[in-house]
Amino acid sequence: MKKAELVFIPSPGIGHLVSTIEIAKLLVERDDRLSITVLVIKLPNDSKTTAYTEAVVASSSITKRIKFINLPDVHNTVAEVSNIALFFHLVIEAQKQQVQEAVQKLILHNNSDPDSPRLAGFVIDMFCTTMIDIANEFDVPTYMFYTSSAGYLGMSFHLQTLYEEHNIDTTELNVPNTEFKLPYFVNPVPAKVLPSVILFDKEGATAVRNFTRRFKETKGIIVNTFTELESYAGHSFFDTNPTLYPVGPIMNLKGDTQVGSGGTQQRNDIIKWLDEQPLSSVVFLCFGSMGSFNEDQVKEIAYALEKSGVRFLWSLRQAPPKGKVAFPSDYSKPQEVLPDGFLERTAEIGKVIGWAPQVEILAHKATGGFVSHCGWNSTLESIYFGVPIATWPVYAEQQFNAFELVKELGLAVEIRMDYNRDFYSESEMFVNAEQIERGIRCVMEQDSDIRKRVKEMSEKSRKALMDGGSSYSFLDRLIDDIMNNMS
Ligand SMILES: *[C@@H]1O[C@H](CO)[C@@H](O)[C@H](O)[C@H]1NC(C)=O
Ligand SMILES: *[C@@H]1O[C@H](CO)[C@@H](O)[C@H](O)[C@H]1NC(C)=O
Ligand SMILES: *[C@@H]1O[C@H](CO)[C@@H](O)[C@H](O)[C@H]1NC(C)=O
Ligand SMILES: *[C@@H]1O[C@H](CO)[C@@H](O)[C@H](O)[C@H]1NC(C)=O
């Protein structure tokens, strides 16, 4: 039997690693000819990553056909840089030699044994395109695992073409007056829903272009979506070059992503509270691992919740100190930022929490709506569990996701869409209580068309993953192509 080994190289950071492990599991579970080695690049001072891979290996939730190699730290040489795209570029670039050596070792080891798997290709993610060079040295194809939407992938290709063929630079756009006509979107896309980094940061935009330019050199792009969700213009979007393989939604339903935060006590407390609430009665507010607001905005959310009278579960996170790049944390005394007496007055209907076991909350029958930052994972989880979203994007491509959900797909209610710190002033960014309250009431409406559509899409997402479903079939096609492309 012909056996194939894939080398996975995710971008540094626990989030990327987690998604990578999910797709790796899916592949080896589907086909026992496949084995996978994940080369793990750590962030500076990153202790979580190794702990996580060790926990995964120990948990036996994973077969022996998935292995991890931790690449040695070399980024002490990486100077502090301001934007994330450039930072990834430098950290990853610094690892090329080590990737080359690690793969060389893998191959040498195997030459002695004719039954061992042959190297079949690299699977990289969107920031690791420079590793295509190494795959080429070994004369194997590169595939990409893309963790955002197909819609945004198309947008990226479109912007790249505008740059290469028409010299249009996103950092020189007249943002308020620019729209993009994508061939597969019904609505023109306003520039102001694009990520800040490509609109306002020359160096960041160059770094992003450098990554995107090379997407086309891959043999195929595995996308975390499913055709029924993003089936613009009769699927034609999926017939592109490189081949797209929509195999999602890929989610970590066991929720072991949130290593280190929360804890069972907190989790049990939250689920117990939800168990006591009526069916589909609770609105859940959560803004992702990087989402937090200033105190005025926190108060405004509180006023909106109180005024709406809707039951709520609110993951309230404290912003890191100004000017510091760090994750939000839990408040030790949330009452200090909330309006006076808020917790007492809402004790019967609401619960303010810090870290949230999001998947379990979305899966709970009491949860009826989700005020979300629209990160693509959260979006997929929400759709999978049939919970409609009220959009409040915060960073990265979340504004685009919100636009796609509200305007193109009719699967979400708008609170904000074009929420951007680099574009609007602080006062323009402020979302007032009426606007929030309207969004909450609307998303909680029990027999709305949006809720109906989300429920339908939820069913389609489950079918897509089952034998005979679209994502299931695309995964088979991917494996066939990997085996056939082996030299
Ligand atoms: C969630 O999505 C992002 C891309 O938007 C990805 O980089 C990350 O790995 C994902 N995180 C988890 C926990 O799955
Ligand atoms: C990483 O750790 C070293 C030593 O423990 C410290 O000097 C350095 O400032 C840390 N770097 C970052 C980016 O936190
Ligand atoms: C090489 O052989 C080792 C040990 O038999 C195996 O674990 C690994 O997956 C193989 N890798 C490749 C690239 O063939
Ligand atoms: C982008 O690519 C060009 C050409 O390869 C290179 O000179 C430049 O340093 C890269 N810039 C960034 C920010 O990645």
pLDDT value of position 290: 76
Pocket of ligand 3 (CB under 6 A): 5, 35, 106-107, 109-110, 116-119
Domain that holds residue 145: 4-153+204-247+465-484
pLDDT value of position 441: 98
Q: What is the full per-residue pLDDT of the chain (487 aa) written as tens digits?
A: 789 999 999 998 887 888 899 999 999 999 999 999 999 998 877 777 888 888 888 876 677 899 999 998 776 555 566 677 778 888 899 899 999 999 999 987 666 677 788 999 999 999 999 999 999 999 999 999 999 999 999 999 999 999 999 999 999 999 999 999 988 888 999 999 999 999 999 998 999 999 999 999 999 999 999 999 997 644 556 667 789 999 999 988 875 544 445 578 889 999 999 999 999 999 999 998 778 899 999 999 999 999 999 999 999 998 877 766 667 888 888 888 999 999 999 999 999 999 899 999 999 999 999 999 999 999 999 999 999 999 999 988 999 999 999 999 999 999 999 877 778 888 888 999 999 999 999 999 999 999 999 999 999 999 999 999 999 999 999 999 999 998 6
Is residue 44 located within the same domain as residue 99? yes
The one-character DSSP state at 32 is T
Verify whether ligand 2 is closer than 6 Å to residue 44 (CB atom): yes
Tokens (6 digits) for 135: 């795959």
pLDDT value of position 343: 96
Verify whether ligand 2 is closer than 6 Å to residue 45 (CB atom): yes
Question: Which ligand ends up closest to the CA of 111?
Answer: 3
Question: Which ligand ends up closest to the CA of 212?
Answer: 4
Mutate to test the pocket of ligand 3, among 108, 109, 482 (most ligand atoms within 8 A of CB): 109
Element (H, E) at 4: strand 4-9
Count the helix, strand and coil residues of the chain and give each as a percent rounded to the nearest 5.
Answer: 45, 15, 40
Among residues 442, 398, 27, 426, the alpha carbon closest in space to that of 192 is found at: 398
Residue 174 within a domain: no
Among residues 100, 163, 153, the alpha carbon closest in space to that of 125 is found at: 153
pTM: 0.91
pLDDT value of position 418: 87
Rounded Cα–Cα distance for residues 423 and 433 (Å):
22
Residue 76, C-beta contacts closer than 8 angstroms, at least 6 positions apart: 44
Measured over the CA atoms of residue 406, residue 407, residue 410 and residue 414, the dihedral's sign is positive
Is residue 237 located within the same domain as residue 354? no
Q: How far is CA 386 from the centre of its chain?
A: 18
Q: 317 phi and psi, to 5 degrees?
A: -120, 145
Residue nearest to atom 12 of ligand 4 (CA): 207
Residue 171 within a domain: no
Residue linked to tokens 């409609």:
388
Question: Which ligand ends up closest to the CA of 69?
Answer: 3
pLDDT value of position 422: 79
Is residue 330 located within the same domain as residue 431? yes
Is residue 365 located within the same domain as residue 472? no
pLDDT value of position 110: 63
Residue 133 within a domain: yes
Dist. CA 16 → ligand 1 center (Å): 5
Question: Which ligand ends up closest to the CA of 85?
Answer: 4
Is residue 375 located within the same domain as residue 416? yes
Tokens (6 digits) for 400: 């685009």
Rounded Cα–Cα distance for residues 192 and 189 (Å):
8
Residue nearest to atom 10 of ligand 1 (CA): 15
Residue 457 within a domain: no
Is residue 227 located within the same domain as residue 347? no
Residue linked to tokens 């290593």:
259
Give yes or no for a contact between 406 and 430, defined as CB atoms under 8 angstroms apart: no
pLDDT value of position 90: 85
Rounded Cα–Cα distance for residues 19 and 23 (Å):
7
Residue nearest to atom 6 of ligand 2 (CA): 45
Dist. CA 57 → ligand 2 center (Å): 28
Is residue 220 located within the same domain as residue 345? no
Rounded Cα–Cα distance for residues 15 and 316 (Å):
21
Rounded Cα–Cα distance for residues 262 and 270 (Å):
11
Verify whether ligand 1 is closer than 6 Å to residue 148 (CB atom): yes
Is residue 473 located within the same domain as residue 331? no
Is residue 83 located within the same domain as residue 140? yes
The one-character DSSP state at 413 is E
Give yes or no for a contact between 274 and 367, defined as CB atoms under 8 angstroms apart: yes
Q: Left (φ > 0), alpha (ψ -120 to 50) or beta: where does 188 sit?
A: beta
Number of domains in the chain: 2
Mutate to test the pocket of ligand 3, among 110, 139, 487 (most ligand atoms within 8 A of CB): 110
Q: Is 16 a residue of the active site?
A: yes
Is residue 346 located within the same domain as residue 237? no
Residue 257 within a domain: no
Mutate to test the pocket of ligand 2, among 42, 43, 45 (most ligand atoms within 8 A of CB): 45
Domain of residue 340, CATH code: 3.40.50.2000
- Considering the candidates 125, 201, 373, 418, report the single residue annotated as catalytic: 125
Residue 144 is which amino acid?
M
Tokens (6 digits) for 148: 């955002």
Rounded Cα–Cα distance for residues 401 and 412 (Å):
10
Residue 189 within a domain: no
Rounded Cα–Cα distance for residues 226 and 240 (Å):
15
Query: What is the position in ligand 3's atom list of the atom closest to the CA of 3?
Result: 14
Dist. CA 129 → ligand 3 center (Å): 24
Residue nearest to atom 3 of ligand 1 (CA): 147
| Cα–Cα–Cα angle for 288, 215, 220, rounded to 5 degrees | 95
Residue 72 is which amino acid?
P
Q: What is the DSSP string of 245-304?
A: EE------TT-TTSTTSS-HHHHHHHHHHHHTSPTT-EEEEE--TT----HHHHHHHHHH
Query: What is the position in ligand 2's atom list of the atom closest to the CA of 45?
Result: 1
Residue 61 within a domain: yes
449-465 helix and 470-484 helix, angle to the nearest 10 degrees: 40
Residue nearest to atom 11 of ligand 4 (CA): 207
Q: How far is CA 366 from the centre of its chain?
A: 25
Is residue 240 located within the same domain as residue 116? yes
Rounded Cα–Cα distance for residues 249 and 23 (Å):
10
Among residues 409, 415, 375, the alpha carbon closest in space to that of 394 is found at: 375
Among residues 465, 265, 257, the alpha carbon closest in space to that of 359 is found at: 257
Pairing of strands 66-70, 34-40: parallel
Residue 168 within a domain: no
Dist. CA 116 → ligand 3 center (Å): 6
Dist. CA 276 → ligand 1 center (Å): 31
- Please tell me whether residue 222 adopts helix, strand or coil conformation: strand
Burial 183-215 (b: 16+ CB within 10 A, else e): ebbeeebbbbbbbbbbbbbeebbebbbebbebb
Residue nearest to atom 2 of ligand 1 (CA): 377
Residue 347 is which amino acid?
A
Residue linked to tokens 């569990």:
385
- Please tell me whether residue 242 adopts helix, strand or coil conformation: coil
Mutate to test the pocket of ligand 4, among 206, 208, 213 (most ligand atoms within 8 A of CB): 206
